């Protein structure tokens, strides 16, 4: 039953990724996005019309939003209106709340150029310098909101770091990983598309965790013991293994999709992140935690058997000595 749950969930997740998510919409390249990807993109665009975006851009100005090298003291190679968010660490949906917040508080601009060089510099306009941390977080969040629905939106989480990967020889042109990631962003592989590819991953998680909880309750376990996540006093190694198997199936299917399409835009980045996470936890379980728990389990049986033997010996001794007076003739030192 556990394997069946993993298989059904993984296959369903893969089917949603293949038939509904598809690839990001790229009008310049003539690529039509998947129905789910387009639906999410249209919803976000409808919630943030151009007038609202302009208002947010003025209200939430940040020092790390330079789109050209014109006002920068240190030129950033590759910086342009198309790719400045892909190179600015402050625009990363996760890293931005570290580097972006620091840039706001210090009046700086932190970026990685197209050659993988890390550059941090003080900008000409430092009106945000000295801002408190929570004010800076609010400013960064507001600025991200102003960028998410633009034609060149925010990059996918951690995708900015790929600028550092100046190695590899991919495709007929021998592109590096950094060049492939840059090209993917330019063709619409942004944070909005990341949200759409996260849907099948979230469905996979929900199905496995929900089925695990229902199955445990039906087996007679208490609800607190059947909750589909780890608690400080209750770890769920079986649940972790089930999630690893289901995500492995979905990841294998995505690998097949990439091989068939021969297009990096078909990569489900969110699925590979989930696979990496559960692979590490499964490796830790197999190599470290499982042997220790197995030894503890076996030692528990050994201790129980010894207690049983001790009780048998004591009962036998009591029967043999019943009605008799027993003297301890052992000579102790000093007596």
pLDDT confidence of residue 300: 78
Residue 285 counted as domain residue: no
Q: Rounded CA gap, 204 and 194, in Å?
A: 16
| Within-domain flag for 289 | no
149 assigned to some structural domain:
yes
Tokens standing for residue 292: 């220790």
Whether 35 is in a domain gets the answer: yes
Residues of the chain with pLDDT under 70: 27-31, 292-293, 326-335
Q: Helices H, strands E: what count in the chain?
A: 12, 2
For residue 78, tell me if it sits in a domain: yes
Domain membership of residue 291 (yes or no) is no
pLDDT score, position 305: 83
Determine, yes or no, domain membership for 290. no
Total residues found in the chain within this entry: 335
Domain span including residue 73 = 2-280
Look up the pTM and report it: 0.84
pLDDT in tens, 59-111: 999 999 999 998 899 999 999 999 999 999 999 999 999 999 999 999 999 99
Give how many domains the chain has, as a whole number: 1
Going from the C-alpha of 200 to that of each of 9, 10, 74, 250, 274, the distances in angstroms are 10, 9, 42, 9, 11
- What are 297's two structure tokens? 């389990």
pLDDT at 204: 97
104 in any annotated domain: yes
């Amino acid at each position: 039953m556990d394997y069946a749950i993993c298989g059904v969930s993984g296959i369903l997740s893969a089917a949603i990724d293949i038939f509904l998510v598809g690839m990001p919409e790229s009008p310049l390249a003539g690529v039509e996005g998947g129905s789910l990807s387009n639906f999410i993109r249209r919803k976000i665009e409808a919630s943030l019309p151009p007038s609202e975006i302009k208002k947010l851009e003025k209200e939430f100005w940040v020092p790390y939003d330079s789109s050209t090298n014109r006002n920068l003291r240190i030129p950033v190679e590759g910086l342009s209106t198309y790719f400045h968010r892909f190179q600015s660490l402050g625009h990363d949906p996760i890293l931005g709340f570290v580097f972006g917040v620091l840039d706001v508080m210090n009046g700086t601009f932190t970026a990685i150029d197209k050659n993988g060089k890390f550059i941090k510099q003080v900008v000409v306009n430092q009106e945000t310098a000295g801002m408190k941390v929570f004010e800076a977080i609010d400013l960064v969040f507001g600025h991200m909101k102003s960028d998410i629905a633009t034609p060149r939106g925010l990059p996918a989480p951690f995708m900015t770091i790929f600028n550092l990967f100046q190695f590899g020889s991919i495709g007929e042109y021998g592109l590096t990983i950094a060049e492939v990631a840059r090209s993917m962003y330019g063709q619409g592989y942004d944070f909005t598309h990341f949200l759409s590819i996260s849907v099948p991953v979230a469905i996979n998680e929900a199905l496995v965790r929900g089925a695990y909880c229902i199955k445990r309750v039906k087996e007679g376990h208490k609800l607190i013991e059947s909750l589909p996540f780890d608690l400080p006093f209750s770890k769920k190694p079986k649940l972790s293994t089930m999630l690893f198997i289901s995500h492995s199936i979905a990841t294998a299917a995505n690998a097949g999709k990439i091989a068939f399409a021969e297009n990096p835009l078909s990569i489900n980045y969110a699925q590979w992140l989930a696979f990496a996470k559960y692979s590490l936890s499964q490796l830790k379980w197999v190599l470290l935690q499982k042997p220790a728990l197995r030894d503890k389990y076996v030692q528990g049986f050994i201790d129980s058997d010894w207690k049983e033997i001790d009780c048998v010996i004591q009962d036998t001794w009591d029967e043999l000595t019943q009605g008799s007076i027993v003297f301890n003739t052992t000579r102790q030192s000093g007596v």
